Amino acid sequence: MAMKYFLEACCTSAADAVTAQRSGAARIELCSRLDIGGVTPSEDLIRETLLALAEDSAPIPVNVLVRPRGGDFVYSETEIEETLAGIEMCKRLSVSDSAGREHRVNGVVIGALRPDGGIDLPAMRRLVAAARPLEVTFHRAFDECADLERGLEDVVSLGCERLLTSGHEPDAFAGRFTLARLVRQAAGRIVILAGCGVRPHNIDAIASASSAPEFHSSTLTGW
């Protein structure tokens, strides 16, 4: 099915990922425990999802959330080390489909903040460096930044390909005008991925107001 917008589907199972692929999603964000905001999925789930997408049809990219726990985004050194280990797992993983073709994780979704609400640049530099050559999305930890404009410049300086944000609001519809300001500030240096509460009934309004090039949704209903 053709999708009007570039939609990333947040999925917690291989079955959900296949449904999203068949519904026209352009990319998967794979995670576990959405009830606590999402954490790193297991190695088995990542393998299962890559293989299910590969065997279903021409597979779409899979980005994996790497987050050691729910709650805030201020991490201890132990939690940074756990995140690094999760990134290395994603880089190492490889599955082969029935035709012998290899499939790997496309990118990781990460983020870390300082106690004062700024981007934790030292921690993030370590995480981004460890992630390469995978793509890097900075996740909605950004929406807890004290200063969005400064935060955006910091995320750009890290070389992240993408920033997932609701525009510092509970959902992307409420944050659509802030999203527009972020898109203008980004000026093509990073992709603004509008997420949280994106649904078939409001995506047109979010897209029109924000000019965001990509959208993220955790529901597959109605697409």
d(CA 80, CA 59) in angstroms, rounded, equals 31
**Residue 32, token pair as written in the block:** 């576990």
- pTM recorded for the entire structure: 0.96
pLDDT > 90? residue 87: yes
Q: Is 144 exposed, middle or buried (0-12, 13-18, 19+ CB in 10 A)?
A: middle
Amino acid at 121: L
**Residue in 111, 143, 114, 103 with CA at minimum distance from that of residue 127:** 111
d(CA 170, CA 178) in angstroms, rounded, equals 12
pLDDT > 60? residue 77: yes
Q: From the centroid of its chain, how far is CA 71?
A: 17
Mean pLDDT of the chain: 96
Q: What is the DSSP string of 37-93?
A: T-BPPPHHHHHHHHHHHHHHSSPPPEEEE--S-SS-S---HHHHHHHHHHHHHHHH-
pLDDT > 70? residue 216: yes
d(CA 205, CA 60) in angstroms, rounded, equals 26
- 62 forms bridges with which residues in the sheet? 28
pLDDT of residue 2: 64
- Interval 191-207 mean pLDDT: 97
pLDDT of residue 83: 98
What domains does the chain contain, in order, with CATH numbers? 7-217 (3.20.20.380)
